[in-house]
Chains A and B, each alone.
Chain A
Amino acid sequence: MTSPLTQTVHWDLTYDVHLGSTWGRFMQGLREQKILANSCPECSRTFVPPQAYCEACFVRTQEWTELPAEGDLEVFTVVWQGFTGGPTPPYAVGGIRLAGADTLLMHVVTGLDFTDPATVREQLPHGSRVRAVWAAERTGQILDISHFEPAG
């Protein structure tokens, strides 16, 4: 097939996404290197990211606590084929259960040697302890945690 006729269209939009009071409080905490969680008064689950309401019990969350910046790596993947505009592969993304949390926080995970794809599983087995590495400059966004690295 010869190349079809196309026309280049570019969208350049800047959004100011509203964080609200719950996520706003969490993001402000990150500036001070604090990971803040909240919990549901009925089912007692502790949320990171914090939630304004518990979706299961359908009540407002209460009680804030500060969690340690460490947890267990529940799962990860190595991205070998990334996306346009994204980080240069290979890189790893994982789901972290922070100590004291009932939820998964998704983040970038470092500390893997990508030379041999067959070995990545043994390098970071399920439940490996990982800790947050803080960005030098923090502006109140999730990337104030630069990434998680093996804590061992």
Chain B
Amino acid sequence: MPTRARPGPVHVVGLSCTPLLPEQDAVLDELVFDAVSAALSECALRKADVGLSVLASMDVPDGRSISSGLTTAAAAGYLSDSYRLEADSGSAVAAAAQAVAAGDVEVAVAVGVHNPEHHATDDAGRRAFLEQLSNLAFEPAFDRPVGMTAQAVYGMQAAHAIRASGVTLQDLAELSAAAITRGAAGRRPGRRSPVTAAEVLASAPVAWPLLDLMFPAPLTGAAAVVLASPARAARLLGRSAVVTGTGQATGDHTWTGDWLTRPEATTARAAADAYRNAALTDPASSVDVVELSAPTPALHGPYLRALGLSGLPPARVSPSGGLAGGHAGLANGIVRLLEAVEWLETHEPRGRAVVHSVDTVTGTVSEEATVAVVEGV
């Protein structure tokens, strides 16, 4: 069997995120600039040091068309190497890490921004707009005309899980309540108050069987990470974590039904890739913490199993609260990385984290999953 060359480790040297708010009074590129300049400041690097910038954003929520022109300069990519992905920022991290690991550049920046250009006074109004965009993202001949949206997909997946896997609505409510309560005490609370399972069950129905407090509060903002080669990182101050492996995978269309019956399959493929790159053969015994991105509690168990981490104590699964408190759209991948690195920095010995992220544009349909293995140093 041919052996596969492992990419070298990539150091996380700067990591930052803007305040995550229901709505920002800022232009898109200002948020990108704020996140990137703060991440570069952490490791005392300047724009001229950046060999590659990869930006994750999506034009439809941004109300723009080919917005690279606006955001390239803010991502420290002006007159240098830069590109944009319409994907969760976990993909931007993977792309930037690969460029550093391959020796193409010494320093790379990945940044994700999510700032839907819509003013609403409450979460229901914000979701009505995001759901309209989701409907537009579905395939136009069959799925879009019948009203498919991310929330409808999540509702159906939860209904299937309750019927087929024996999980109950009470179980889901308890998962949401625990995660929201954990998040409320964290550094970036989307929802600021602890809640009980009874309060989750009493919240407004959104997409049966899922209720309001089972969906993340919609947040906006930008998050950025600066990655460097080991040689360059040795001469830098800043964060002390290493990305040892990344993996990505994409899910399937509506008609195959995998999004419904095997929603964990995409994450499992991404995890297999990341673990192989990181030479992680037994995640169950060698991972200390996971930052999971479960957009609903019905996906918590399937994603955790796909990562091989079902045995982790609950306190080690998204200590930040994960998405239960709030979700900053495509910025999420880097927000989860930030939460994981902060956890590693505050625990001795430093340990190993798995960072999981998915895009939520069309729910588990055509879902994109990213997994990264991160070690504290």
CA distance A18 to B148 in the complex (A): 20
CB distance from A90 to the nearest CB of B (A): 8
Q: How many residues of B contact A (CB 8 A)?
A: 43
User: Which B residues from 9 to 39 make CB contacts under 8 A with A?
Assistant: 23-25
A100 to chain B, nearest CB (A): 14
With a CB–CB cut-off of 8 A, which chain A residues contact B149? 79, 83, 86
Whole-angstrom distance from the CB of B303 to the nearest CB of chain A? 19
| Complex contact A142–B25 (CB within 8 A) | no
Tell me whether A86 and B132 are in contact (CB under 8 A).
Answer: yes
Q: Which of A9, A74, A91 has the most CB of B within 10 A?
A: A74
Q: A3-B119, A4-B119, A104-B255 are in contact. Are A83 and B135 (CB under 8 A)?
A: yes
Residues on A with beta carbons closer than 8 Å to the beta carbon of B119: 3-4, 6
The answer to whether residues A17 and B254 also contact, given A83-B134, A117-B208 and a CB cut-off of 8 A, is no
Contact call A80/B204, Cβ cutoff below 8 A? yes
Query: Is the Cβ of A75 less than 8 Å from the Cβ of B156?
Result: yes
Known: A78-B207, A79-B151, A80-B207. A94 touches B156 (CB 8 A): yes
CB of B208 within 8 A of CB of A95, answer no
Q: If A95-B156, A117-B205 touch, does A19 touch B146 (CB 8 Å cutoff)?
A: no
A-facing mask of B132-170, CB < 8 A → 1, else 0? 101100001111011111011001101110010000000
- Residue of B147, B205, B206 near A91 (CB, 8 A) is B147
A141 to B142, CA, bound (A): 8
The answer to whether B95 has its CB under 8 Å from any CB of chain A is no
User: In the complex the two chains form, is A93's CB within 8 Å of B151's CB?
Assistant: no
B160/A106 in contact, CB under 8 A = no
How distant is the Cα of A142 from the Cα of B160 in the complex, in angstroms? 25
Select from chain B the residue with minimum beta-carbon distance to A141. B145
Q: State whether B147 touches A74 (Cβ < 8 A).
A: no
Cβ of A83 and Cβ of B132 under 8 Å apart? yes
* Chain A stretch 69-107: residues in CB contact (< 8 A) with chain B: 74-87, 91, 93-95, 103-107
Closest to B121 in A: A3
Inter-chain contact A17/B205, CB cutoff 8 Å: no
Choose among A75, A83, A108 the residue that contacts B146 (Cβ–Cβ < 8 A): A108
Bound: A74/B129 CA distance, A: 28
Contact A86 B156 (CB under 8 A): no
Is B257 in contact with chain A by the CB < 8 A criterion? yes
Task: Answer yes or no: A52 CB below 8 A from chain B CBs.
Answer: no
Give which listed residue, B117, B129, B156, B255, contacts A105 with CB less than 8 A: B255
Q: A76-B156, A104-B260 are in contact. List 9 more A-B contacts (CB 8 A).
A: A1-B25, A74-B257, A76-B159, A84-B129, A86-B132, A87-B147, A104-B256, A108-B146, A121-B159
Minimum-distance CB pairs A-B, first 4: A77-B155, A83-B131, A4-B25, A78-B208
Binding site for B on A (CB under 8 A): 1, 3-6, 9, 15, 17, 19, 23, 27, 47-49, 51, 74-87, 91, 93-95, 103-108, 117, 120-121, 126, 141-143
